[in-house]
Copies of this chain bind each other. A is one copy, B any other.
Amino acid sequence: MMSTSINSSSTRDSRKTGIDDPGYDGSSGSRGGCNDLKSMARGFEDFPVGTRLVSNASSVITAEAIINFAREFDPQIFHLDPRLAHETIFRGLAASGWHTAGVSMRLFVDTMNVAGGIVGMGVDELKWPNAVRPGDELRLEIEILQARHSKSRPGYGIIRIHNVTKNQRGEVVQSFMANAMLPVRSSRA
């Protein structure tokens, strides 16, 4: 349904992002069949301040996906019923903001490709400035705002991220700042 790859930078920034590291093999390292969690993919050192990443491929949101998500998590008429949604403030079917957040997380995980995983610690200024409609194609832009080693957890780093999800017309459908923790690559066994 979704596939993503990685651009070195949306702005052709020359800063090192680790994307061309010999150790990067394009595998997510997060699915079964991998006995060594730490054998693949990227870590804290690969995301210095100023790094910009773009999810190369995108995720197309179908009406069916919008409705299925809403049935389980956000059963409101503007997320559930294309006809009745026209009578609401959205003037048509729109994805739940939490659905957009989930789809964006998928793009984030696939794009970051962090060995051992990346854990969200807190999110601020989460906004959904434009509705996501059936057929919209979403891309994620990631910028690393801060990066530091964890004091309390040796072997981990903490990065502050600005995540912006855009539709096929370049309109922002979601944005937020977040702190996330991820393993330091050089501390791998």
Contact = CB atoms under 8 A, between A and B. Distances in A.
Interface in A49-91: 69, 72-78, 80-81, 84, 87-90
A84 B116 CA distance: 10
A126 B127 contact: no
B125 A122 contact: yes
A172 interface: no
Given A98-B98, A126-B124, A75 B37 contact: no
Given A75-B28, A75-B30, A126-B123, A117 B88 contact: yes
A48 to B, nearest CB: 22
A102 interface: yes
Q: Which of A78, A123, A128 has the most CB of B within 10 A?
A: A123
A127 B101 CA distance: 14
Given A72-B102, A88-B116, 4 more contacts: A37-B88, A73-B102, A101-B101, A124-B125
A51 to B, nearest CB: 20
A103 B73 contact: yes
Contact of A77 (B1, B80, B117, B121): B117
A32 interface: yes
List the 4 closest pairs (A to B, CB-CB), nearest first. A73-B102, A123-B126, A76-B117, A122-B127
Copies in the complex: 2
A182 to B, nearest CB: 10
A144 to B, nearest CB: 19
A142 to B, nearest CB: 15
A96 interface: yes
A149 interface: no
A181 B90 CA distance: 12
A16 interface: no
A112 to B, nearest CB: 10
